[in-house]
Structure 1
Amino acid sequence: MSDLLPYLFWEKQEGYLCAQHCLNALLQGEYFTAVDLSDIARDLDEAELAALNKTDEHNEGSEAKKSQNMDDTGFFSVQVLVNALKIWNIDIIPYGSEDCVDARIHPENEIAYICNLHEHWFTLRKFGNSSLRWYNLDSVLKGPEWISQTYLGMLLTQLKNDGYSIFVVKGIFPPCQADDYATSHPEANGSKKSADTDEEMLRAAIAASLLPTNDIQQESSSSSQAEINSQSTTSSSPPPTLEELRIRRLARFS
């Protein structure tokens, strides 16, 4: 799935500006700067303070409280992201809400997800309206990473279990080169077989690398077993459990 990489917009993590990186990866361009998001955060702070003063006359004229929408590290609240995306008529809806039942059943049918844990934000996005063209655009990675259709659902389950807030993105994105290319090439190299092969190899590698190990010899044999499983076209690997996937993800991003 590397054929799309030259067309993808992705920003490497800079300081604590992951909210900026998340939005720009979602929109596929340098649409927002830290200054833009700070302006939105200040507007929100002023609106919240005005609303507070209106409901409580004793607060009127009091010293402004610490911002709830940004801090000195570069972190921005979800309200900042919501208001930034309103400019493009794009909404984000909590993944666990009643409005997102379909997303939980068929996550590959959505266009993108925004994920947050503590101060970190990142984007999972589909390109060209193809379920075979999902990418993890997390700014802390070495670069964009392809996500298979099946692994997308597993990843979202992992993130939810690990405490992430997940938002389903609704709307129409501005045009970008990656979408144009993926629309004309919905399957890598024009073949669905390559995606199926990648999926089989992913499952085999997960299962093999997380086989129970009772001694050093058994542990050392797991890598060779992964190679055998990934190359076999006749044998099938058992699907990994959520706990196995969680361990794999923690190891992957540590």
Structure 2
Amino acid sequence: MEGEKLRNALLSAVSHDLKTPLTAIRGLAETLERTKELPEDDRSDLARSIRVQADELKRLVSNLLDLARMQSRGVHLNKEWHSLSEIVGSALAQSAPLLKPRAIRTNLPPDLPLLEVDAPLIERVLINIFDNAAKYTSSTSAITVRGGASGDSMYLVVEDDGPGLPVPDPEVLFEPFMRGQKESSIAGVGLGLSLCRSIIAAHGGSIRLEGRKPHGAAFEIRLPLGAPPEVESETVND
């Protein structure tokens, strides 16, 4: 019964949310094909729109395939020592087209210890969170990324000043195929946050979501601190 429930949810999500970018891409491409004398600026705008829709389709399919693989075989981590600032910077750079023109603020102490993580997977978590913020906040919103070390863990908080949470219990948004707005023009199959939780849990950490006052939302990620390897000092021979 649980498997049938998940299959029905998947079919419902795919039929609506994967069809949307495909329909948009086809319509935009037909416009380019049929209108031979479009001004260059209009052609560039259409091409840019096709790229944006294709990127969205790629994210949807990647989340779907990754979550299915993780649920069947578990998460296989390739851990190395990384700087949290570099991981955040890379995720922000990849998400820049989505987040524009929102104001992005970062507050990460320069002396944070290194983290032993699978950097591409942690970047994937942040990109999904940034994608979520871009979808559910206005273009005039501000997004803040801050972090620090506390006890035996490092925390990273991504918060916005958008409309806030659409449900009273934020935990339900981490369930597969659960969306804040079930019937909406906003693309997505409700897999992003479920994927985030799977990745963070595989690292021995936690992720939670809560509303901010007077409005907005905040994601908090906690990852365990390890013991970074000591860097041997080089000796100079006379």
TM range (shorter): under 0.3
**TM-score of the superposed pair, with normalisation by structure 1:** 0.25
Q: Which has the higher strand share?
A: 2
**TM-score of the superposed pair, with normalisation by structure 2:** 0.27
Larger radius of gyration: 1
